[in-house]
Amino acid sequence: MRIGQPEPKRANTTLLVVLIVASLVLLTVYFREGDEGILHSARRATLAVSAPIARAGTAITSPVRAVGSFFGGIGASRERLDALQEQNDELRARLADLEEARQENERLRALVEFAEERNLAKLGARVIQRPLSSWEGVVVIDRGSEDGVEPGMPIIAAQGLVGQVAEVSARSSTVRLITDQQSGVAAMIQSTRALGVMRGSVGGALSLDFVDRAMLPQVGDVVLTSGLGGVYPKGIVVGDVVSVDDRRGELYPRIGVISRVPVDLIEEVFVLVGSSTEIDAGEIE
């Protein structure tokens, strides 16, 4: 059984043609008539009626648009904030590097001036290992036999005497501090010129032994290397007198001294290499 095809709806086509023709006619009339024409007047009336409705719609939707803009701004502000934070971190890192360079420059300048004023043959070195405890009296520097360092060479810092090279490897050396219990430095009191021997201890305290009781120092007097024995040049600051105990029952007075060198803080030192001239042992403050 053959099912017939539905006939196309010619009425719809006819209506479409009529609407198109009517639109063309209205457009032609609209552009040909004046501002006071019927179509222009109808358009103005339509706008007048629809304008309040449009304003009301805008007022209703503006909070929604504002919220959308707010959250969109938050996203943009967050990205900008992250970028600014990254720049701030970079600037802080550069500032820290510059500050570290400035402090290192000041330390090295003081150290160089100290050595040059005393005409010392010197080799710069960095401290690469400090004492791990108060019982350990050695540090390690980054200079060794390849740099001409030998056992027995004195080590100084800008504040004064540090110690003496004890062991040497190719690229590093162990320095025995003057505060070590095995250390001994031929020293003298600046004010009285009394001679003695500076010794360290297990706890790191310094004492000046074998000083003549007739030439007792005062608290605050400066102690220098005497140059005797040929190990250390004469006139290097060793420390300051902090106590004097003149007990009559003992052969020599007990004299306590504190080093001026902050062993826990020093980063650069000089190794005194070769021959060096005698240091002026005049007034040192």
* CATH number, position 235: 2.40.10.340
In a domain, 240, yes or no: yes
| Shared-domain flag, residues 68 and 131 | no
The larger pLDDT score, comparing residue 56 to residue 19, is at 19
| Shared-domain flag, residues 194 and 60 | no
| Shared-domain flag, residues 91 and 42 | yes
β-pair partners for 259: 239
Is pLDDT of 1 > 60?
no
Closest CA to 261 of 182, 117, 154: 154
Number of domains in the chain: 2
Task: For residues 19 and 24, give the distance between their C-alpha atoms in angstroms, rounded to a whole number.
Answer: 9
Rounded average pLDDT over 139-143: 94
Using pLDDT thresholds of 50, 70 and 90, give the confidence band for residue 285.
very low
Task: For residues 59 and 39, give the distance between their C-alpha atoms in angstroms, rounded to a whole number.
Answer: 30
| Shared-domain flag, residues 206 and 265 | yes
Task: Specify the pLDDT at position 14.
Answer: 79
Q: Where are the beta strands (DSSP E) in the chain?
A: 122-129, 138-141, 154-157, 160-168, 173-177, 184-189, 195-199, 206-209, 222-225, 237-245, 254-259, 268-272
3-state secondary structure of 6: coil
| Shared-domain flag, residues 127 and 233 | yes
Q: Which of 117, 152, 177 is the last residue of a domain?
A: 117
In a domain, 5, yes or no: no
226 φ/ψ sector (left φ>0, alpha ψ -120 to 50, else beta) = alpha
| Shared-domain flag, residues 267 and 127 | yes
160 φ/ψ sector (left φ>0, alpha ψ -120 to 50, else beta) = left
Q: For 80-98, write each residue's pLDDT tens digit.
A: 777 777 777 666 666 655 6
Task: For residues 48 and 69, give the distance between their C-alpha atoms in angstroms, rounded to a whole number.
Answer: 30
Closest CA to 266 of 110, 152, 76: 110
β-pair partners for 241: 257
Q: Which of 64, 94, 117 is the last residue of a domain?
A: 117
| Shared-domain flag, residues 35 and 148 | no
Instruction: Give residue 247's domain range.
Output: 122-272
User: Which phi and psi angles does 228 have, rounded to 5°?
Assistant: -70, 145
The larger pLDDT score, comparing residue 45 to residue 197, is at 197
Q: For 220-275, write each residue's pLDDT tens digit.
A: 999 999 989 888 988 889 999 999 998 776 788 999 999 999 888 888 899 998 64
| Shared-domain flag, residues 206 and 129 | yes
